[in-house]
Amino acid sequence: MEKMPKWADVLLVPLISLILAAFFSAIVILAIGESPVAALKIMVSGALGSTYAWGYTLYYATNFIFTGLAVAVAFHARMFNIGGEGQAMLGGLGVALVCLYIPWPHWSLALIGATAGAALFGAAWAAIPAFLQAKRGSHIVITTIMFNFIAAALLNYLLIGVLKPMGSMEPATPKFPAAVKLPSLHDILALVGIPFSKAAPANVAFLVAILACIAVWALIWRTRLGYQIRAFGHSEPAAKYAGINPTRMIMIAMLISGGLAGMMAVNNVMGEAERLVLNAVEGAGFIGIAVALMGRSHPLGVFLAAILFGFLYQGGAELGLATRIPRELIVVIQALVILFTGALDNMVRAPVERVFMAMRRPPKPETKLKAAK
């Protein structure tokens, strides 16, 4: 018997979690002597109040869609991929190599090439932890954390050394050639006559992210591979019984996951910075965890949660500019969202379930009393 209707599980519980997170964030803002209402106003106008604001919100959201999908796909195979950060760093490396060393005639071809490069490098960085989990039973959470640090060291090494242009002091690659410049949302929307800010970084990668959402949805719920991944995620012994190869499932799910995390680089490295800089990922890999939890590992949920976090990110940046509240406040909000939608899920869920159970039962006085306890 299901304890509560599906809509409650998909909408109500995340909503309550979100309200709790917002409530505690408001307390933090109050505690540092600022007004939560004023802060919210600044965030809304700064993140949604103009096409420029939307351009930033959607730019951040694009990053989070990719990393959120990455975590979500791995979740379906019951793998907790904390390595999105490192995989996205490597994705950036893939994009940089593809853009710098292949003479692309047109941005569209470059986009395909860079997406492939990003996915390949991201997947490769997920491959070793995945293999160690599948074959040696090494806990993937720990290995992916370790690989984040190893990735940071590797990029540090490359950007200070080989990839840095001669004579430059800055740890970054040269700027990509003009031919690989991706059209911004301004360029795309201009085609259909919608005016959009020229200065904002949102670009064609947002559309790629939407395509990725649809592709992941079809993969998980409509294909045999997705069926097998989900079956494996729910029960490994059952998967073995059914002839589903656990090693294969772990590898495939993690490669897809790493690939998706890597693809984020198409947005931030190719679409925005147009070169690879140190610390390009800026924690988006970790925000993917919050996004996937919030979105209940469903691509539509991930999309919506990513927009929400895009809003928080952009709004938080505006907050940092307009008030004394540092932009790190969004890290606090992000932590609270992870806490309430992830770790404290049962705390939110159990009372909701009890309410639904009590409503469903014929009103017997003694059961009602018990439910109230």
Partner 1 sequence: MDLLTVLQILDSSVRSATPLLLAALAGLFSERAGIFDIGLEGKMLAAAFLSAAVAAVTGNVWIGLFAGIGASLALSAIHGLASITFRGNQLISGVAINFLAAGLTVVVAQSWFGQGGRTPQLSGGARFNPITLPFAETLRDVPVIGPIYYELISGHTVLVYIAMLMVPLSWWILYRTRFGLRLRAVGENPAAVDTAGVSVVGLRYAAVGICGVLCGIAGAQLATAEPAAGFVKDMTAGRGYIALAALIFAKWRPWYVLYACLLFGFLQAIALRPDLIQNAIGLRVQVQFLDALPYILTVIILAGFVGKAIPPRAGGEPYVKER
Partner 2 sequence: MTAPAIELVGISKAFGPVQANKDISIRVMPGTIHGIIGENGAGKSTLMSILYGFYKADAGEIFINGKKTLIPDSQAAISAGIGMVFQHFKLVENFTVLENVVLGAEDGALLRPSLAKARTQLKQLAAEYELNVDPDALIEDIGVGMQQRVEILKALYRAADILILDEPTGVLTPAEADQLFRILGRLKAEGKTIILITHKLREIMEITDTVSVMRRGEMTATVKTAETSPPELAELMVGRKVLLRVDKKPANPGDVVLVVRDLNVTDAKGVHRLKGVSFAVRAGEIFGIAGVAGNGQSELLEVLGGYEKATGTVTVNLQEIDLTGAKSNGQTRRARGIAHVPEDRQREGLIMDFMAWENIAFGYHNDPKYQKNALLMDNDALRADAGGKMERFDVRPPNPKLQAKSFSGGNQQKIVLAREIERNPDLLLIGQPTRGVDIGAIEFIHQQIVALRDQGKAILLVSVELDEILSLSDRIAVMFDGKMMGERLPADTNVKELGLLMAGITDTDRPHSVAEVEAKLAFAGGNPRKEV
Residues that bind partner 2 (CB under 8 A): 1-3, 218, 222-224, 227-228, 230-231, 234-235, 237-238, 240-245, 357, 370
**Window contacting partner 1 (CB under 8 A); options: 6-14, 62-70, 177-185, 338-346:** 338-346
Return the residue of 170, 326, 351, 359 that touches partner 1, per CB under 8 A. Answer: 326
Under rule CB under 8 A, residue 82 binds partner 1: yes
Under rule CB under 8 A, residue 75 binds partner 1: no
Angle formed by the axes of helices 84-101 and 107-131, to 10°? 140
Under rule CB under 8 A, residue 345 binds partner 1: yes
Report which of 75, 69, 86 is spatially closest to residue 127, judged by C-alpha positions: 86
Residue 175, contacted partner among partner 1, partner 2, none, CB below 5-8 A by kind: none
Under rule CB under 8 A, residue 150 binds partner 1: yes
d(CA 176, CA 74): 32
Could you report how far apart the first and last alpha carbons of the chain are, in Å? Answer: 22
Residue type, 12: L
In the window 245-274, what residues touch partner 1 (CB under 8 A)? none
Return the residue of 17, 63, 143, 228 that touches partner 1, per CB under 8 A. Answer: 143
Report which of 342, 345, 211, 209 is spatially closest to residue 284, judged by C-alpha positions: 209
Report which of 299, 315, 279, 259 is spatially closest to residue 53, judged by C-alpha positions: 315
**Window contacting partner 1 (CB under 8 A); options: 28-36, 167-175, 192-200, 230-238:** 28-36
d(CA 242, CA 228): 9
d(CA 368, CA 373): 9
Residue 170, contacted partner among partner 2, partner 1, none, CB below 5-8 A by kind: none
Buried-exposed string 92-105: b where 16+ CB fall within 10 A, e elsewhere: bbbbbbbbbeeebe
Residue 330, contacted partner among partner 2, partner 1, none, CB below 5-8 A by kind: partner 1
d(CA 218, CA 300): 12
Pick the closer one to partner 2 by CB: 231 or 337: 231
Shortest separation between residue 371's beta carbon and partner 1, angstroms: 19
Residue 373: CB atoms within 10 A of its CB come to 5
Pick the closer one to partner 2 by CB: 175 or 360: 360
**What does the block give as tokens for 23?**
């409530």
**Interface with partner 1 (CB under 8 A):** 28, 31-33, 80, 82, 128-129, 132, 136-139, 141-143, 145-147, 149-150, 153-154, 156-157, 160, 286, 289, 293, 324-326, 328-336, 338-339, 342-347, 350
